[in-house]
Structure 1
Amino acid sequence: MSDDDLFGGLAKFGLSNYEIKVYKTLLLKGPNTPTGTVKIAGIPQPRIYDLFSSLQEKGFVDTVTGKKHLYRAVPVSIVLRRQVAWMDNYVNSLEEYVEKYRETEDVKEPYIWFVKGNKNVEDRMKSMFYSARDEIILSLSKQSFLNMSGFISRTIKKGITIALVLFSDSSADVIEKVPKGTILKIRDQKPLEMMMVDRSYILSNLKSGVENSDYSIYLEEDQLMHVLSYYFLYNIWQPSEYRYYPDNGGFYYRFTTIWLACDVIDYYLRLGIKVKGQLSGIYKNNRINITGIIKRVERINGVKQSFFIESSNGNFSVGGKSAILEDVKMLDLEISRL
């Protein structure tokens, strides 16, 4: 990303082009006088005091008075996080208002939505990172990974599980940039990009699989989610090779997708590691919470992906949200070393 693109993003926080130039100058060159700032930033002299005044009101600049006025940039970590906190509160307030006053039911229709344009696709993927609660499963091209690596790192630090597939376009030096804690697989084929969040949202970048396509499909409907999730399992995940295995230390993972949960649990059990599970699911049409020891995994391609948990209330077989052969339909699961 060029300097212009990087600092140009400040326009989304309400800064004009001239204000961005002033803020950038103070960030990189340190505190300065109006005259000194004009010389470096290359802006018209008559505008400088108005620009400083506006930046002060927006919280981007501080000043000190004395024999001469000095201005300094408020650190990025302070001013932008304050803006983000405001945005989070605004989003929550707006969603609460919509939930209270909307006139239609929140029914997920089996629609496939199209997201057009690479920039819009990337922005949608970034927003999906923010919406994640438990788990993200994704496959990315080299460039998309480089654009998203910061989001992956921050998401892992929140305790959210990241399972990632990279492809042959990602060289060894790129793979080294994968954040610690990622469950990583490598596939020797042309990149095919998909992203699934909490088994609730899925985006598939058609440009990576269809020539001359400039759009992605995005959906939330449960049955279509089920189909695409297993498409990912059989066509991307299973044919790929592990590069970064699940952590063997004091591991902790959260899942909403049964086949990924089974894959990771099976890995630990094969190593002789005892696994504790905290499960939320549906049992005989009622919500149930189970804490216990996961004893084994049973996987038959095209038939079932399930595990067995032993608790003080009995032994239960657990499948996915669409399970019909098991006792419990898994909604979400946390696992840790016993």
Structure 2
Amino acid sequence: MDTDALVETLRDAGLSPYQAEAYVTVLGLGTASATAVAEESGVPAPRIYDVLADLEAAGYVETYEQDTLQVRAHEPAEMLEDLQSRADRFEAAAEAVEQRWERPELDGTAVSVVKRFETVLDRARQFVGRADYRIQLSVTPEHFAALRPALVDARDRDVYVRASIHTGPDEPFPDRDLVEGACREARHRTLPAPFVALVDRQRTCFTHHPDSVEQYGIVVDDRTHSYVFHWYFLTCLWEPWETVYAAGDRGFPREYIDIRYCVQDVDPLLASGERLRVSVEGYDLETGERCSLTGRVADVVYTPEPPNGGTVDTALLGGQVALLVDRGDGQVTVGGWGSVVEDVEATRIVLERE
């Protein structure tokens, strides 16, 4: 440790700036006059006698008369014991802080603005760790790798994970091993994009791309705000880009977390005469309680209709989108995120042939 660092450490240990400078000087000189200590340490001469007296009272030095006032350092055992005691207390305090620390929620508000990307990434990792059924991501390969352990755990909990992984225009999609086992489907966006993590239709983390002029992050814990980010994700970060990885195949049964994709598949199948059944998990919109149901798909509902009788496209399904399900004792309408006029808001749909 150099002299400046030692002086700074002694100041942290409780010595005044002049005391620390004088004591380190005495250690270097061995035995010296008070005048020599003042000259070497930079302590003003009128102050040196009070400073040495305070150090002597604390047991750091001793003074004696020999024509002039002389000073020498005491054997440092007592001082070393004091420093070690302080170090032990600091270490114990650090351990106590670590044991008691728990990251607080950001003010308990629906939307919080933060300055550091690390805060956004850490909160995204926490949200992913608590996910129940759905995760949507817009990430770089590096950020996906940072979240991968939490994503693997989420997949083990049967959470449906979609990842839009963005790179530079000339950069290839990363190795398949990065995404395998950590997501259900991945697409490759060959343009820079913001970091987005949407979890369970409730929680969202967002921050601009690092090269953006505006640098801040947003943490959301609110369904309505998250719904806006969902449509941004769907239209800008997901739909236009090619699927480069999909777990499983397109046979039956098929699983959906977005009713719009379900309706896209169901509509032509019903038109060709297929008989289909669904198992639905979601929320009863009358009671707000979790519910599940099974039944035969009687019809699909979407407004507005595709122009000129065209095919159903996800971008056109910004209005009502629903399945009409016959449970045997009556029919119910099953909608998706943001459902208002339907009976059930689905969070997961499994489609099978009868």
Corresponding residue to 2:204 among 181, 202, 205: 202
Gaps of 5+ in 1: 1-86, 95-107
Shift of 1:235: 1.8
Aligned residue runs from structure 1 range 257-336, under 5 A: 260-264=258-262, 266-267=264-265, 274=276, 276-284=278-286, 287=289, 289-294=292-297, 297-298=300-301, 300-324=316-340, 326-330=341-345, 332-335=347-350
Aligned residue runs from structure 1 range 33-52, under 5 A: none
Shift of 1:247: 2.7
Contact kept, 8 Å, 1:316 with 1:328, in 2: the verdict is yes
Letter in 1 for 2:190: D
3-state DSSP class of the match of 1:232? helix
Larger radius of gyration: 2
Shift of 1:323: 2.5
Is 1:123 paired with 2:122?
A: yes
Contact kept, 8 Å, 1:167 with 1:187, in 2: the verdict is yes
Instruction: Give a deviation string over 1:253-300, Cα, whole Å, max 9, x none.
Output: 473xxxx24325644776879553223323445645422244565554
Instruction: Give a deviation string over 1:113-159, Cα, whole Å, max 9, x none.
Output: 02332322221121111110111111111211122223222221221
User: Is the alpha carbon distance of 1:118 and 1:298 closer, same or farther for their aligned partners in structure 2, counting shifts above 3 Å?
Assistant: same
In 2, distance between residues paired with 1:297 and 1:167? 34
Aligned residue runs from structure 1 range 51-130, under 5 A: 111-130=110-129
3-state DSSP class of the match of 2:178? coil
User: Is the alpha carbon distance of 1:167 and 1:303 closer, same or farther for their aligned partners in structure 2, counting shifts above 3 Å?
Assistant: same
Instruction: Give a deviation string over 1:4-46, Cα, whole Å, max 9, x none.
Output: xxxxxxxxxxxxxxxxxxxxxxxxxxxxxxxxxxxxxxxxxxx
Shift of 1:238: 1.6
Contact kept, 8 Å, 2:140 with 2:165, in 1: the verdict is yes
Aligned residues: 231
Residue 245 of structure 2 is matched in structure 1 by 244
Residue 232 of structure 2 is matched in structure 1 by 231
User: Is the alpha carbon distance of 1:151 and 1:294 closer, same or farther for their aligned partners in structure 2, counting shifts above 3 Å?
Assistant: farther
User: Is the alpha carbon distance of 1:241 and 1:335 closer, same or farther for their aligned partners in structure 2, counting shifts above 3 Å?
Assistant: same
Alpha-carbon RMSD: 3.6
User: Is the alpha carbon distance of 1:289 and 1:146 closer, same or farther for their aligned partners in structure 2, counting shifts above 3 Å?
Assistant: closer
In 2, distance between residues paired with 1:113 and 1:179? 33
Contact kept, 8 Å, 1:139 with 1:192, in 2: the verdict is yes
Residue 195 of structure 2 is matched in structure 1 by 193
Identical pairs, percent: 15
Letter in 2 for 1:206: H
3-state DSSP class of the match of 1:162? strand
Contact kept, 8 Å, 1:283 with 1:328, in 2: the verdict is yes
Contact kept, 8 Å, 1:276 with 1:291, in 2: the verdict is yes
In 1, distance between residues paired with 2:318 and 2:254? 28
Higher mean displacement: 172-181 or 127-136 = 172-181
3-state DSSP class of the match of 1:202? strand
Residue 182 of structure 1 is matched in structure 2 by 184
Higher mean displacement: 121-130 or 171-180 = 171-180
Letter in 1 for 2:321: Q
Higher mean displacement: 166-175 or 199-208 = 166-175
Contact kept, 8 Å, 1:114 with 1:218, in 2: the verdict is yes
